[in-house]
Amino acid sequence: MPNPFHALEDHHVIVWIGDLNREELRAYLDEPGGAAYGEPISALGRDLGDWYDHDFIWAEASDTAITITELCRQNQMEPDELIEEIVRRSPRAEANCILLLWNAKLADDAAPRLFAVGKLQCIGAWEQEAPLTD
């Protein structure tokens, strides 16, 4: 696996937007079980290069591109400041999916990499009060 893309850190978030539809996002996050110790539990884990806590994943997808704001609202994201920051950082107005990993930040040596074979783009990581920790 590649060097880890993220490090655990309470009250931080990493955000991706992309072109995965509902089925593709479900498959990307699927954890079929049977992974050996140190092996990725999902395609996301493979792309991250390390373990992640699936309890800290928020994900939403649509079969057609919709506004970033609408993707956030469909996921029942709050506060409004979080949605505004995601929209501000997004390089485009519409996408099919959004993915958040809470209580994680970019690793100090995180280099740009492909997620979901280039269908997901990391738009950044920042300090953000997390809805849950531990």
- Number of domains forming the structure of the chain: 1
The DSSP line for 29-53 is H---S-PPTTS-SSHHHHHHTS---
Residue recorded with tokens 């699936």:
54
Residue 133: inside a domain: no
Assess if residue 81 is contained within a domain: yes
Strand boundaries in 1-134, DSSP class E: 6-18, 57-67, 94-106, 120-127
In a domain, 1, yes or no: no
For residue 10, tell me if it sits in a domain.
yes
Note down the domain range covering 107: 6-127
C-alpha 131/C-alpha 9 separation (Å) is: 13
pTM of the model: 0.92
| Domain membership flag for residue 12 | yes
Q: List all residues 6 or more positions away from 45 whose beta carbon is below 8 Å from its beta carbon.
A: 51, 52
pLDDT of residue 134: 60
In a domain, 134, yes or no: no
**Going residue by residue through the chain (134 aa), what tens digit of pLDDT does each one get?**
567 889 999 999 999 999 999 999 999 999 988 777 777 889 999 999 988 898 999 999 999 999 999 999 998 999 999 999 999 999 999 999 999 999 999 987 777 888 999 999 999 999 999 887 66
